[in-house]
Amino acid sequence: MNVIEPGGTIGILGGGQLGRMMATAAKHMGYRIAVLDPAEDCPAAQVADIHVKGKYDDLEAAGELGLHSDVVTYEFENVDERVSQFFENEGKLPQGTLPLAVSQNRGKEKEFAKKAGIHVPAYRLIQTGEEFDRAVTDIGLPAVMKTVSGGYDGKGQYLLRSPEDCSSAREDIWDGKYDGKYIVEKWVDIDKEVSQVFTRDSAGDISFFPVAENVHKDQVLFTTTVPASISDNETREIRKRTEALAEELGVVGTFAVEWFVSGEDVYFNEMAPRPHNSGHYTIEACSVSQFEQHIRAICGLPLLPVHTFPAAKMINVLGRHRDDLFQSLGSEQVHVHDYGKHESRPQRKMGHVTIIGSSPDDIKLGEPAWSKSW
């Protein structure tokens, strides 16, 4: 792979907060940034050198981004496959189209996980009411139904515990919501959910960040804490399985895999082919962030060793808590990140805070009061 040296331009497909944090890391390293996003003043465009205003499936806009860019990356999964293929054909997309295409489809995710020898909960792909009925009969209740593609932060998900839940979910299938394509999965009673964020370079070398423990509220990520409260054996197993999946997909760049821990068992949940919300703590708590490692990987630079504070906790700030974000600026242990979004909706991610300390108990002492009522 060619090395893109500082002074070159990195093109980013998507202008949200992940693109903003990628751009910030790259700017510190001396790179220029071009962003493709339809919004006039999106978070990433606020710190970019060039903003190509266009839709994510606009091939003409993609061509303009390519003219400005020495290398291209994406900050979210919902990039049009024709656009990603265009950049791959141009030799400007080190991440490739395959990880993107797989992560856009929950059925393909499960297939690739199984190919990599990873245990996944029982599931069925469905598109009709009759297929839904068979899936529920085969898998049993409780179960969860999710859209095959699209959907995030709990959107397009249905928890099936009773016949009434099934009836409601079945109606949405008949109404054609989300193109009527869903996956029904066996519900797993879990002890905790964890994520493994890592970076892999084009030579296949992998740098792991600490396994992080995640807590969700209303199906939105609330907190991420390191170290995760899992055993050394569970950590080794998660990393072994993550590496197998990374090899199967040929990952380049920062990537995240979410896992369910249930007793001694570890189950694959889902993956994200780019930096991840559960890796934001790395900005302050690690010697190198998930974003800098990503820039290094896609530009052909060597990855750095990861050293970490003894404990850290990231707390998401939604629209309904945005005023609380600024209250945290006076705390000695809290690092504040505002994403520069102008429209504040109750469930929209507006920023995050990270607390770092010498121990998990130290972290608890530093948690802002407003987070208790998140």
State residue 363's pLDDT score. 92
214 is in an annotated binding site: no
Residues 202 and 341 occupy one common structural domain = yes
Residues 170 and 311 occupy one common structural domain = no
54 is in an annotated binding site: no
Residues 164 and 83 occupy one common structural domain = no
Query: Mean pLDDT in each 10-residue stretch from start to end of the chain (374 residues)?
Result: 95 98 98 97 97 97 98 93 96 96 94 91 92 95 90 73 92 68 93 97 98 94 97 96 96 97 92 97 98 98 98 95 81 90 92 95 88 82
Host domain of residue 198: 192-369
Residue 111 lies in a domain: no
State residue 153's pLDDT score. 54
Residues 245 and 176 occupy one common structural domain = no
156 is in an annotated binding site: yes
185 is in an annotated binding site: yes
187 is in an annotated binding site: yes
State residue 324's pLDDT score. 81
State residue 154's pLDDT score. 56
State residue 325's pLDDT score. 82
216 is in an annotated binding site: yes
106 is in an annotated binding site: yes
151 is in an annotated binding site: yes
Residues 247 and 219 occupy one common structural domain = yes
Q: How far is CA 160 from CA 8, 150, 186, 299, in A?
A: 50, 20, 10, 45
Number of domains in the chain: 3
Residues 238 and 353 occupy one common structural domain = yes
CATH number at residue 338: 3.30.470.20
Q: Which of 136, 167, 186 is the last residue of a domain?
A: 186
8 is in an annotated binding site: no
Residues 205 and 179 occupy one common structural domain = no
345 is in an annotated binding site: no
281 is in an annotated binding site: no
Residues 81 and 180 occupy one common structural domain = no
155 is in an annotated binding site: yes
205 is in an annotated binding site: no
72 touches 11 (CB < 8 A) = yes
Residues 38 and 162 occupy one common structural domain = no
CATH number at residue 177: 3.30.1490.20
154 is in an annotated binding site: yes
Q: Which of 186, 208, 237 is the last residue of a domain?
A: 186
